[in-house]
Amino acid sequence: MSKLTIVETLIFPHGTLAVSPVIGEPLLSQQLPSGCVFPQSPSTVHSQKPGPTVQNILAQFSALIERSSPRGISIHINKKDTLEHDEPLLELLLQSSKRWEQVKMWVTDATYRQFSPIKGRLPRLRSLEFSFNRGLQNVPFVDLFENAPRSEVVSSPFLVNFPLAQLAYFEQDLLHPILLQSLLPVARCLQALVFTSRSAAFDTFPELNAGPFTINTLECLIINFFGGQDYSRLVDILILPVLTELVIRSFAEQSIISHVTDMFRRSRPNWFFTMKPYFATRR
């Protein structure tokens, strides 16, 4: 992986904010110090001015956004606290949401409401990685990203509405069967599905009478089940003609192997395959 050269550095009082023009590369925010604004292409590193005022930071940030226009931007937001001196910067960033293409966002229950202005203003959003603190009790973002017509890659930890039919990659922790039942009938472009379920909600999944569901594009399916749930019904309703990678992590009984075998036979009736199951035991 190539090293990212930081060319402009701004210090923010709290949290982390990184913005870059998108030039076909992912945002490598983990390589950045707190509060960086940088272009994606390498350039000369400038020395950091000590103790810039909020007004100076805002002026520099505004100038950077203006210079990069009309290109899409990639952003990383880590917003832990609600502080008045941060708000002008966040407001300026939210105003540019129509140019967001790649987004990594981490928020808390104290800050998520500040992002409501972006609803319906994400026409270029292609990739979203969304995280939140585990203290969040409700589902505040249920409709924040549903009007994102170009979304293809989504990673999110709870029930959030997305334009499911166009997704190519979908990863969700704490996936609820209701969302999965909405996804399967419309998944026309889905190439990889990764999800985890830790609740007993999937015990009701066998009650689903619809199906089988054929996903002609799905190549990778990774499922993590915890809590002794019976998910054989899920395997029984899937037909995956181009599946090349299947990973199921669970403490379920080994009888699931017969269901997986039947799924492969339905999906590829003329395909000869061998399966090598591995079972982890509790200690």
pTM of the model: 0.71
For position 75, what pLDDT does the model report?
82
Distance between CA atoms of residues 107 and 259, nearest Å:
40
**Which residues 6+ apart lie within 8 Å of 72 measured at CB?**
21, 22, 99, 100, 101, 102, 124
Instruction: Tell me the per-residue pLDDT of 216-250, one tens digit each, with 9 for 90 and over.
Output: 999 999 888 776 666 777 788 889 999 888 888 77
Tell me the domain boundaries of the chain.
1-143, 163-283
Strand partners, 33: none
For position 220, what pLDDT does the model report?
92
Strands (E), the chain: 16-21, 36-37, 73-79, 100-107, 127-132, 153-156, 169-172, 192-197, 213-214, 220-225, 238-239, 245-249
Q: Which amino acid is at 150?
A: R
148 within 8 A of 118, measured Cβ to Cβ? no
65-69: long-range contacts (C-beta < 8 A, 24 or more apart)? 65/19, 65/92, 65/96, 68/21, 68/39, 69/99
Cα–Cα nearest to 175, from 140, 210, 142, 199: 199
For position 121, what pLDDT does the model report?
92
For position 82, what pLDDT does the model report?
55
* Diameter of the chain measured on Cα atoms: 68
End-to-end Cα, the chain, rounded Å: 38
Q: What is the pLDDT along the chain (283 residues), one digit of tens a residue?
A: 322 233 333 333 334 444 444 433 333 333 333 333 333 333 222 333 444 566 777 787 778 777 777 788 888 887 665 555 567 778 888 888 998 898 888 877 777 778 888 988 999 999 998 887 655 555 555 677 888 888 899 888 766 778 888 899 999 877 777 778 888 889 889 999 998 876 555 555 554 556 788 999 999 998 887 766 667 777 888 899 998 888 887 765 566 778 888 888 888 887 766 555 555 444 4
Distance between CA atoms of residues 81 and 198, nearest Å:
29
From the centroid of its chain, how far is CA 244? 22
For position 130, what pLDDT does the model report?
84
